[in-house]
């Protein structure tokens, strides 16, 4: 075979010979090379796109951007539950007596860094916790007002604040803790975060505090020189704690859809002279009736001594 090819070597260099040799070599090469399956077309596109895309890391917010988020949170909290008469940035700027709306708007979007005096003015105007607004610590409406164990010790403070309204806020549970909320304006409140139990779940100190709470209610209700109105509010456990801790704008419960619960006034009717007295237990629970009995007993002990 080899001799025949050599003797007819002119044939090798003809067109047919070159084509045959090319096919033979191509066949031999494919047999020696391992098979590599081709990647699906869509996979090839994904790989190419992945290779061409730069790695993107999440951008960390600056302190100014974080503060801008907290400014926006305040506006959201102020408008929670409001379908009408919502607070707006122009309205807040007007309340703060700023020269331009953009002074506040630029702070809200993180374009401008607010000065410390600006922050002080905003917090003072809207009753916002400065530590929370600047550092994110605490809660938006948490109060730094000193806590006082005796309710009557708050009387002077309340008189000095001269609030538009006073709310006695009670938790709808058997232990019935309660605290005082002051409405200073439509956009500003002060939470007196000390609680007292309006029930029989009290010790000797609690009995004295319960009597003091009774005295404070009567003093605030009957003090004509104060020119303020008293109201009652009863909330479930979750809402009560949220409001007490300053996580919620108080206007959510006192402005839109507010329903007065005169439990605080009923509490002072310890001798059940009101025509509605027979409904106290149904409305406020057995522990409420026992709290009235404790107040009445404490008064008699004071008179005896």
Q: Is the dihedral of CA 38, 43, 44, 48 positive or negative?
A: negative
- Asked whether residue 103 falls in the same domain as residue 168, the answer is no
Both 167 and 262 in a single domain?
A: yes
Ranking 12-21, 91-100, 119-128, 274-283 by mean pLDDT, the lowest is 12-21
User: Does 270 fall in a domain?
Assistant: yes
Which CATH number goes with the domain that contains 116? 1.10.260.40
> Based on the domain organization, do 123 and 182 belong to the same domain?
no
Segment 153-170 mean pLDDT: 95
Kindly state the average pLDDT of the residues 283-303.
95
Of 34-38, 158-162, 248-252, 261-265, least confident by mean pLDDT is: 34-38
Confidence category of residue 305, pLDDT binned at 50, 70, 90 = confident
Residue 254 covered by a domain? yes
Query: Do 164 and 289 sit in the same domain of this protein?
Result: yes
Domain check: are 156 and 293 in the same one? yes
Nearest to 305 by CA among 209, 223, 215, 208: 208
From residue 269, give the alpha-carbon distance in Å to each of 179, 196, 264, 296.
19, 18, 9, 10
Domain that holds residue 235: 151-304
- Does the pLDDT at position 218 exceed 60? yes
Cβ within 8 Å of residue 159, ≥6 positions away:
223, 226
* Together in a domain, 262 and 295: yes
Residue 50 included in any domain: no
Q: Which of 61, 67, 78, 136 is nearest to 104 (CA)?
A: 67
Confidence at residue 47, expressed as pLDDT on a 0 to 100 scale: 47
Q: CB–CB of 209/180 below 8 Å? A: no
**pLDDT tens-place string over residues 242-258:** 999 999 999 999 987 78
Provide the domain count of the chain.
Answer: 2
pLDDT in tens, 72-86: 999 999 999 888 889
* Angstrom distance (rounded) from CA 163 to CA 168: 13
User: Are residues 163 and 231 both part of a single domain?
Assistant: yes
Are 155 and 258 in the same domain? yes
For 215, the 3-state DSSP assignment is helix
Residues 97 and 162 in one domain: no
What's the rounded Cα separation, in Å, for the pair 87 and 106? 17
- Identify the pLDDT of residue 19: 52
- Kindly tell me if the per-residue pLDDT of 303 is higher than 80: yes
């Amino acid at each position: 075979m080899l001799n025949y090819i050599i003797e007819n070597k002119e044939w090798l260099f003809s067109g047919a010979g070159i084509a045959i040799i090319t096919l033979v070599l191509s066949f031999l090469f494919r047999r020696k090379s391992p098979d590599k399956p081709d990647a699906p077309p869509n996979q090839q596109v994904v790989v190419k796109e992945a290779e061409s895309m730069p790695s993107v890391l999440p951008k960390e917010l600056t302190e100014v951007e974080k503060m801008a988020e907290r400014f926006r949170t305040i506006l959201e909290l102020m408008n929670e539950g409001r379908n009408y008469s919502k607070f707006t940035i122009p309205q807040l700027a007007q309340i703060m007596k700023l020269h331009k709306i953009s002074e506040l708007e630029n702070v809200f979007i993180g374009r401008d860094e607010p000065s410390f005096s600006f922050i002080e003015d905003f917090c003072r105007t809207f009753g916002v916790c400065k530590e929370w607004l600047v550092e994110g610590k605490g809660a938006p409406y948490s109060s730094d007002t000193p806590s006082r164990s005796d309710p009557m010790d708050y009387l002077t403070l309340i008189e000095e604040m001269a609030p538009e309204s006073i709310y006695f806020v009670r938790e709808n549970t058997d232990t019935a803790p309660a605290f005082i909320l002051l409405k200073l304006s439509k956009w500003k409140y002060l939470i007196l975060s000390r609680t007292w139990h309006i029930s029989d779940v009290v010790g000797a100190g609690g009995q004295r505090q319960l009597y003091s709470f009774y005295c404070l209610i009567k003093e605030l209700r009957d003090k004509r020189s104060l020119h303020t109105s008293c109201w009652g509010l009863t909330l479930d456990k979750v809402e009560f704690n949220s409001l007490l801790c300053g996580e919620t704008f108080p206007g959510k419960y006192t402005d839109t859809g507010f329903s007065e619960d005169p439990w605080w006034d009923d509490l002072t009717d310890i001798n059940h002279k009101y025509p509605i007295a027979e409904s106290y237990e149904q409305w406020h629970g057995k522990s409420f009736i026992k709290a009235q009995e404790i107040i009445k007993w404490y008064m008699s002990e004071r008179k005896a001594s």
